[in-house]
Every structure is written in structure tokens, then in C-alpha cells.
């Protein structure tokens, strides 16, 4: 299915946010996620995705 990941059209085989993260190589990485502009906490990433959904994946940054 085709979804939008961080602004880029991406073809994925997975159907949930958790499995899409694994498919895209994020695995157990500490990232923040949102689907269609709504924050999705790590414990709720079993949410189903649909074609055209917008997924944002943000990695924390260090610095000051």
C-alpha cells in the first residue's frame, strides 16, 4: 500500500504502524510517531494504516 512517510510517498507491505516502522528499519529505535497529524504513543502503535495515510517519524536530537 502507498502511504506518505515524512512527506515522501512510500510503498509498504505492512498494515500497522508498528510493522511499518520495522519494515522501514526503525525496529526498536526511540522515535516519536504521528499518523494523519495525530500523535501515536509507542504503546499504541498497533494502529492500522490505510492507503494515503500520512506518517511522521521523528528521532530525538541531542544538543543545546
pTM greater than 0.75 (yes/no) = yes
Q: How confident is the model at residue 45 (pLDDT cuts 50, 70, 90)?
A: very high
2-58 CATH: 3.10.20.30
In tens, the pLDDT along 49-62 reads 999 999 999 988 77
Query: Average of pLDDT values for 6-29?
Result: 96
- CB crowding 12-42: b at 16 or more within 10 Å, else e: beeeebbebbeebeeeeeeeebebeeeebee
45 burial level (CB within 10 Å; 0-12, 13-18, 19+):
middle
Cβ atoms 53, 4 nearer than 8 A: yes
Confidence class for position 64, pLDDT limits 50, 70, 90: low
Percent of the chain past pLDDT 70, that is, above it, reads 97
Amino acid at each position: 500500500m502507498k502511504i506518505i512517510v515524512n512527506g515522501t510517498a512510500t510503498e509498504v507491505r505492512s498494515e500497522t504502524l508498528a510493522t511499518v516502522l520495522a519494515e522501514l528499519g526503525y525496529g526498536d529505535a526511540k522515535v516519536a510517531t504521528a499518523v494523519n497529524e495525530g500523535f501515536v504513543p509507542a504503546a499504541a502503535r498497533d494502529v492500522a494504516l490505510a492507503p494515503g495515510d500520512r506518517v511522521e517519524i521523528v528521532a530525538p536530537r541531542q544538543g543545546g
